[in-house]
Structure 1
Amino acid sequence: MIARSLGLEHSSSLDHAAVARRRSIAKKLATAFSLAIAAFSIYILGRTFSAVNFADLAGAIEATSADQIAGAALMTVLSYLALTGYDALALRQLHARVPYKTTALASFTSYAISFTLGFPLITAGTVRYWIYSQVGLTASKVASLTVIAGVTFWFGMIFVIGVGLAFHGEALSEINHLKPALNVLMGVGLIAAIIAYLVWVTIRRRHVRIQGFRLELPGLGLTVGQILLGVIDQCAAAGALYILLPHHSEIDFFTFAPTYVFACILGVASNAPGGIGVFEAAMLKALPMSQESLLASLLLFRFIYYLAPFVIALAFLGAHESFRRWKSLREAMRQSEEEAAALPDEID
């Protein structure tokens, strides 16, 4: 019995060691992949900037009309509104009742800050916990919410790329230089994977274990909602950049959107804050148009979609904290006044 017990313990320790080795190898491969993407992006950006005429770049920025900027701003608002829906759906799955104004504040500020600073698990998680903990959510529920919201984000990306490849494979082949049939095959595969997932979560309740805690996956209804919100978010974000492109751009939106999403995925994979540099390099490499005009559109997009919401989010967080402290101070003052008013009665 003792030998058998020792054998089991030895086997268990070997299994843990094997898992640790696999995780270490996966982490090293992921780091190498991120560095490769970053190096390629630096190379592309270096070549682009060396050939850019900065007078033409300034002219392209000036040529962007006020209507284009307003349209891009409107698409940005729509995208961030969809992002607030990510948190709302996640809270519904977790059976947590939180006022929408709190949900919107937590979602908008966490995404706006993490999109700009990067490291979403740290930046977005910290902001979410700070806000949601004030209405009674535990750390485990905030972590579960973050996971479900992240799944929604990826659903939108995968669906947009899948549809783009399946129905616009020939147009995209001019960008990714793959055969149209291969693009269509990949697109159909991605759509089939989403359909298979929908069937999988419909049959019965599904649970996954992440970082030691158990999470129930959303069912069919909420998953369809996740896909719709993800598509709205990704198409609105892509629309913000598409509107800023030169009017003479020959690429249609349904070809542009999956290209935009793929560039975003490369930005996420690089671990660069907001995908900065990597996203721009991918778009510069993919889109067949004047480098100065495209670079001008990318710079304006970076300001409208990333920088402006980041500044607004910081202002909202500051106002929220000031209001919370002022409310606490008023409560303390009211309590002191009530205690002072009751003091003579106690003396009598």
Structure 2
Amino acid sequence: MEQESASGLSGRAGNAEPVAQTPTPDGAQIHEDYLARARRGSIWQMLAIALSLAIAAFSIYVLGRAVSAVSLSALRQAIAATSAEQIASAALLTVWSFLALTGYDGLALRQLNARVRYKTTALASFTSYAISFTLGFPLITAGTVRYWIYSQAGLTASKVASLTVIAGVTFWFGMAFVLGAGLAFHASAISAINHFYPLINALIGVSVLGAILAYLVWVTIRHRHISIKGFQLELPGLGLSLGQIALGVIDQCAAAGVLYVLLPSHAELDFFTFAATYVFACILGVLSNAPGGIGVFEAAMLKAVPVASEEALLASLVLFRVIYYLVPFLFALAFLGAHEGFHRWTSLREAMRGSEEEKVLEDEINPLRRWYRDNWRLRR
């Protein structure tokens, strides 16, 4: 029996299948995986570039046709016909929009538990947005300006990067909510612009609002983190996320209001439909990668906004560029220059004060040197 069991064991052991082991990828396999990821990334980059070029080309075509049909004298007359009340209202709404933008940075700083004075926050936010809106490439332009100012307030590069990402999320929250609400609740009016069936517009709008609601539920359940190129960022919770949406909506509505009050007539388009159209034109401008979406935004608005006179609409768009883009850009350059000049003067004054204190300390330590210096001055 023992021999039989032993032989049975040996037989089972001999017939047993070897334990499967996870193969370790060699260098060639890792290299192939890296090349595959690079190819997938390059394909998406090429598609993004193609989309940007297509949007830009179509916008140039639309804008070129519109401008060719407008005489400069008629355009000047339309600009001159804009009332002082319209200019003042547009300027006030511009201030309101940029005040909301300072709240973007304020919420981000609160999420990062960073204490910065509001005047520093306002300077960094206003100048970064005013410059990035005009020059484009916001991650580079806005990020550089923010780091320049916030680093002097003691923030590290990683916190400035986190702040820029959170502020960008707030901006897109506002755009998504305004666009989704416009499509959901003004589907018929927008269908006259994008030529979609009202039901399609309503479904798109409800989907966008549903995605925002799902995000709010997602960040409410527990703390969420995202990884951006190995960089970990904790997402704001429910309270700050609601604040992001509110500030984003205020900013987008104020910015849309700047152009709305400059239009020659508001009778053909209610504000909420116009705001959704404005946001869609802004999104096209962002996708085109054109600095400030220039040309693309104007072409989209010319195609979408129904007005009796294209000259009047072009005049409104020109004034909008001046009031909302050019004037804040010039103010931002002036504020940055004044800030840098004040910072350099403060550093120089502290250096001079330190030199004087060092001289007084040397005199107290070495009275013989002080006596010699004073007598030498008297002899001279």
Give your verdict on TM over 0.5: yes
Unpaired runs of 5+ residues, structure 1, are none
- Tell me the CA shift for residue 15 of structure 1: 3.0
Aligned twin of 2:74: 56
Query: Which residue, out of 307, 315, 326, partners 1:307?
Result: 326
2:120 paired with 1:92: no
Runs of 4 or more, structure 1, over 4 Å off, are: 3-6, 8-11
TM-score (norm 2): 0.89
**Equivalences for residues 1-348 of structure 1 within 5 A:** 6-7=24-25, 9-247=27-265, 249-289=267-307, 290-348=309-367
- Shift in Å, 1:9: 4.9
Deviation, structure 1 residue 279:
0.2
- Say if 2:260 and 2:266, in contact at 8 Å, map to a contact too: no
SS class of match (1:209): strand
TM superposition shift of 1:166: 0.5
Q: TM-score, normalised by structure 1?
A: 0.97
1:88 Cα deviation (Å)?
A: 0.7
C-alpha separation between the residues in 1 aligned to 2:358 and 2:255?
Answer: 54
Q: C-alpha separation between the residues in 2 aligned to 1:138 and 1:126?
A: 13
Q: Which deviates more from structure 2 when the two are superposed, residues 45-54 or residues 5-14?
A: 5-14
Deviations 1:312-333 (A, max 9, x none): 0000000000111111111111
Any idea what SS the aligned residue of 1:7 has?
A: coil
**What amino acid does structure 1 have at the position aligned with 2:94?**
T
Offset at 1:211?
Answer: 2.1
Distance 1:235 1:7 in 2: 54
CA pair 201-248 structure 1, distance change in 2 beyond 3 A: closer
Aligned residues between the structures:
346
- The amino acid of 2:287's aligned partner reads A
Q: What residue identity is the alignment partner of 2:321?
A: R
Equivalent pair of 2:175/2:248 in contact (CA under 8 Å): yes
Q: Give the superposed CA RMSD.
A: 1.3
- Percent identity of the aligned residues? 73
Tell me by how many angstroms 1:136 deviates: 1.3
| 1:18 CA drift (Å) | 2.1
CA separation in 2, counterparts of 1:84 and 1:252? 28
Distance 1:309 1:248 in 2: 26
CA offset at residue 121 of structure 1? 1.1
Q: SS where residue 28 of structure 1 aligns?
A: helix
Q: Which has the larger radius of gyration?
A: 2
Give the Cα separation in 2 of the matches to 1:57 and 1:7.
Answer: 67
- Structure 2 residue runs without a partner (length 5+): 1-20, 368-380
Rate the CA distance shift 1:157–1:278 in 2: closer, same or farther, 3 A. Answer: same
- Report the AA paired with residue 333 of structure 1: M
For 1:194 and 1:244, locate their aligned partners in 2 and report how far apart those are by CA, in whole Å. Answer: 31
C-alpha distance in 2 between matches for 1:108 and 1:210: 26
